[in-house]
C-alpha cells in the first residue's frame, strides 16, 4: 500500500468552494475539457452539465439518476459538507428533505461510478477525506492524510490538496480520483 502526500495551501474560506484560488487551480489542473458534471453546482458554472437545486428544485440524486451511463469526463463532487447544511439549504428553498441517512451518500457515489467514463476523473471536496471509495473500484494513490484503503478495481486517488482556512474554519480537502490509476 502506498501512503502518498497532499499539498497544503492557505486561503480565505468561501461558501462558493470553486472560487477559492487554490481550489480553482486544483480543478483547472484536472480540467482537460469534455463533459463536466456537477450535481451540486450551487451557482457555479464550471460544469457544462449541472444541477442547482435552487433553480431546478431537483435533488442531486434524482438528477444523477437521469444522466446516461459513462457520460462524464470530469465529475465535481462538492455536496453540502454536513447534513445540517443540506437541511438548511432545502429548508431555505421550501423543499422537504426526505433522506438524511448515510445511504443517500452511498447512492450518490454509486451514481458517480455509473456515469464516469473509463478515462474519467472524479474531483471530490469536503471537510473530511470524502472520496468515492474502494468498494466502488477506486484506489487511493496520493494524499498526506492516510486513508485505509487496499488496492481495488482500477480507480485511484492521483492528486490531493488540503486548503487551510484558519480560525474556526475547517480545512477543505480536495481529492482527484482517476479511473484506471495504478
DSSP, res 113: H
CA–CA distance, 86 with 83 (Å, rounded to integer): 5
- Dihedral of CA 97/134/180/177: which sign? positive
Confidence (pLDDT) at 69? 97
Confidence (pLDDT) at 103? 80
CA–CA distance, 78 with 174 (Å, rounded to integer): 9
Question: Domains of the chain (ranges plus CATH)?
Answer: 7-179 (3.40.50)
Confidence (pLDDT) at 42? 86
Confidence (pLDDT) at 53? 86
Confidence (pLDDT) at 170? 77
Q: What angle do CA 110, 45, 56 make, to 5 degrees?
A: 65
Confidence (pLDDT) at 145? 41
CA–CA distance, 20 with 26 (Å, rounded to integer): 10
In sequence order, what are the beta bridge partners of 37? 49, 75
Q: Which three cell numbers stand for residue 75?
A: 465529475
Confidence (pLDDT) at 46? 95
Q: Which residues of 131-155 are buried (b: 16+ CB within 10 A; e: fewer)?
A: bbbbebbbbbbbbebeeebeeeeeb
Residues in the chain where the model's pLDDT stays below 50:
1-4, 129-130, 140-153
Chain length of the chain: 182
Question: Please, are residues 160 and 143 in contact by the beta-carbon 8 Å criterion?
Answer: yes
Confidence (pLDDT) at 139? 53
CA–CA distance, 58 with 175 (Å, rounded to integer): 26
Q: Which three cell numbers stand for residue 174?
A: 480536495
- Please write down the HEC assignment for all residues of 74-91: EEEECCCCCHHHHHHHHH
Confidence (pLDDT) at 74? 95
Confidence (pLDDT) at 8? 78
Residue 127: how many other CB atoms lie within 10 Å? 13
pTM: 0.80
Amino acid at each position: 500500500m502506498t501512503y502518498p502526500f497532499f499539498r497544503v495551501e492557505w486561503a480565505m474560506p468561501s461558501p462558493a468552494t470553486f472560487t477559492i484560488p487554490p481550489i480553482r487551480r486544483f480543478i483547472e489542473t484536472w480540467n482537460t475539457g469534455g463533459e463536466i458534471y456537477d450535481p451540486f453546482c450551487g451557482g457555479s458554472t464550471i460544469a457544462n452539465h449541472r444541477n442547482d437545486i435552487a433553480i431546478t428544485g431537483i435533488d442531486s440524486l434524482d438528477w444523477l439518476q437521469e444522466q446516461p451511463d459513462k457520460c462524464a469526463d470530469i465529475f465535481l463532487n462538492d455536496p453540502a459538507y454536513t447534513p445540517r447544511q443540506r437541511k438548511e439549504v432545502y429548508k431555505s428553498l421550501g423543499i422537504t428533505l426526505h433522506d438524511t441517512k448515510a445511504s443517500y451518500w452511498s447512492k450518490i457515489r454509486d451514481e458517480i461510478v455509473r456515469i464516469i467514463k473509463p478515462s474519467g476523473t472524479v474531483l471530490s471536496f469536503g471537510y473530511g477525506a470524502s472520496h468515492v471509495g474502494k468498494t466502488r473500484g477506486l484506489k487511493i494513490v496520493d494524499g498526506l492524510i492516510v486513508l485505509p484503503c487496499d488496492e481495488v478495481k482500477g480507480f485511484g486517488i492521483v492528486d490531493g490538496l488540503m486548503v487551510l482556512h484558519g480560525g474556526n474554519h475547517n480545512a477543505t480537502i480536495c481529492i482527484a480520483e482517476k479511473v484506471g490509476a495504478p
